[in-house]
Amino acid sequence: MRDWKKDAIVYQVLPDRFNLGNGKTVFQKKEEGYYSLPKQKVKSWEERPLASIDGSHQYDFWGGDLIGIVEKLDYIKELGANTVYLNPVFWAHTNHKYDTIDYFAIDPDLGTEEDFVALIESAHAMGIRVVLDGVFNHAGIAGRWFNGLEIFDEPGAFQGNERLMEYFIRGEKGFRGWMNSGNLVELNLENPDLAEIIFKGEESVLRHWLNMGIDGWRLDVAYDLGPEILKEIVERTRFARPDSCVIGEIWNYPGSWPERSGLDGLMNYYFRLIIWEALNGFVSGKDAVNIINDAVRDAGLEFLSKSWTVLSSHDVPRLKNELGSIDRIKAALILQYCLPGVPLIYYGEELGMEGGNDPENRAPMKWEHTSQEIETLNLYKALNTIRSSKPSLRSGDFKPLVSSDHSLISFKRTTGIVDDLLVCIVNPTEKNVRSRVFLQEGFLMNGTEMKDTIAGKAFSASFGTISIDLHPYEALILEPVISRSNADYSPYKRV
């Protein structure tokens, strides 16, 4: 039985920057009373986000909303993605919405609960699953429990409400902020009343949105929640929706997390680092594959196959800023799709969008680029088609391959059936490389054509090996061309 958590191709959406629905402009929405909290300002869709010394850029809004996402589901479907991961949609003060005001309310600037239901139902009707960002380690100072902006009548922790003060972690300097932020107050999840509200109770935040139809959670800063709380969140999520997924934001080495946390997988930035190190010449291709193989051994293929392999996101620069040339980007993407794990596409990468560190990497979607011939858009579509049709990429075994030139990254994915064999070979250097790769596949018959699934380049298997010449940063996904026609001789007739 197929597992959607392995079959997923994730498209990440930052709601405020993706699409503005109903044909409105953000200025019209402002006139209608939206973006009314202190410091909130609106920007034209053509403007680019820029960092500010005082952090005021967090209160700049471009107007994207839930209806805007509904209107673009067909675009996501056509791209080949089958899962949408939404950055936070709960009521919050900032544009990134990691400073929750009310966990049970959709942010009014993004839409209504009815809009959210329409998004879930429309996505499901198209075969697209929806995963929400769960920000349970901390809440905003403007939130209902802290009430730092005094927008609620009931006194909060800020006003000295002793019951609500117990919802937050306090240290020697007062209430403790996540990463010492003054806006993100850490929640005391050991408080039984708060735990009941967030994840334990039948009417908890966790259950509320699962009951609304979401397909799982991506847990923000899961490393801060700790293994025990993660296990309980996973157990209670499974109880509410047995087929749901729980992915943790964990920037660490993936080993030990499967057994200690119970998570389905993590946001796999570790593979991103290894890919970057190889493409920048800091580790050889051979060492890169061995490092990855160690992670597969320590974390397990099952766990990594459900983890989301992240090359870019709202937290790191975009591919064009990190890698520059299309050849280097193509090499990185082929590795993202061929290594164990679920590929995550950060909105706009397929259109070649640029952006450095936050907030530059969170620019409004460049919809005008969809009418152009863009190489990355075609590449993403091709890779999504390949992944969807190849079981070895979704759940197959991973095995490093020996190359006579150790600068190459070479490995195979296989289900044990020769027809499903895929061989990934990448030249991460700026030099031409000639090498022999040892495929170690017993039923790959001598003389079998090994054809690149992207560009069609072909090689002939000779005694279980192939000889290749690769241009700088060239990347291949090779599959055997196997015929069992009755009309012609085939060495595969009984295989």
Question: pLDDT digit string (tens) for 191-245?
Answer: 999 999 999 999 999 999 999 999 999 999 999 999 999 999 999 999 999 999 9
What lies within 8 Å, CB to CB, of 228 at 6+ separation is: none
Question: pLDDT by residue (tens digit) across 22-67?
Answer: 999 999 999 999 999 999 999 999 999 999 999 999 999 999 999 9
Residues 133 and 88 sit within 8 Å (Cβ to Cβ): yes
Cis before 38? omega within 30 = no
Backbone angles phi, psi at 113, to 5 degrees: -65, -35
Residue 50 pLDDT: 96
The domain segmentation of the chain, as residue ranges, is 4-137+189-389, 395-481
422: β partners:
413
Report, as an integer, the average pLDDT of 266-284.
98
Instruction: Give the whole-angstrom CA distance, residue 320 versus residue 488.
Output: 48
What percent of the chain is modeled with pLDDT above 90?
A: 97
Residue 447 and residue 348: Cα distance in Å, rounded? 42
Q: Read off the pLDDT of residues 75-133 as tens digits, 9 standing for 90 and up.
A: 999 999 999 999 999 999 999 999 999 999 999 999 999 999 999 999 999 999 999 99
Residue 398's closest CA among 409, 408, 382, 386?
A: 409
Q: Where are the alpha helices (DSSP H) in 339-463?
A: 375-389, 391-395
How far apart (Å, rounded) are the C-alpha atoms in residues 224 and 116?
28
Residue 260: which of 230, 224, 235 has the closest Cα?
A: 230
pLDDT above 90 (res 21): yes
Instruction: Report the distance separating Cα 173 and Cα 320, nearest Å.
Output: 42
Q: Which residues of 45-82 are buried (b: 16+ CB within 10 A; e: fewer)?
A: beeebeeeeeeebbbbbbbbbbbbbbbbbeebeebbbb
Predicted local confidence at residue 368, as pLDDT = 95
Enumerate the active-site residues: 220, 249
Cα–Cα distances in angstroms (integers) from residue 144 to residues 35, 59, 105, 191, in the given order: 18, 19, 11, 17
Q: Is 414 helix (H, G, I), strand (E, B) or coil?
A: strand
Residues 6+ positions from 494 with CB-CB distance below 8 Å: none
Separation of alpha carbons 355 and 278, rounded Å:
22
pLDDT band at 1 (very low <50, low <70, confident <90, very high): low
Contact 426, 409 (CB under 8 A): yes
Please name every residue paired with 203 in a beta bridge, in sequence order, or none if there are none. none
Edge-to-edge, what's the strand order for the sheet holding 433-438? 402-403, 433-438, 465-470
Output the CATH code of domain 395-481. 2.60.40.1180
- pLDDT for the residue 373: 84
- Token pair of 336, please? 């993202």
Distance CA 341, CA 395 (A): 9
SS3 430: coil
Mean residue pLDDT of the chain comes to 97
Instruction: Specify whether the CB–CB gap between 95 and 140 falls below 8 A.
Output: no
pTM (2 d.p.): 0.97
**Calpha distance 178→201 (Å, rounded):** 25
For domain 4-137+189-389, the CATH class is alpha beta
pLDDT of residue 165: 98
**Confidence tier at 485 by pLDDT (50, 70, 90):** confident
Residue 122 CB-half CA count within 13 A: 19
Worst-scoring range by mean pLDDT, 170-174, 406-410, 458-462? 170-174
Count CB-CB contacts under 10 A for residue 148.
Answer: 18
Beta bridge partner(s), residue 478: 423, 452
Indicate the burial class of 371 (C-beta count within 10 angstroms; 0-12, 13-18, 19 or more).
exposed
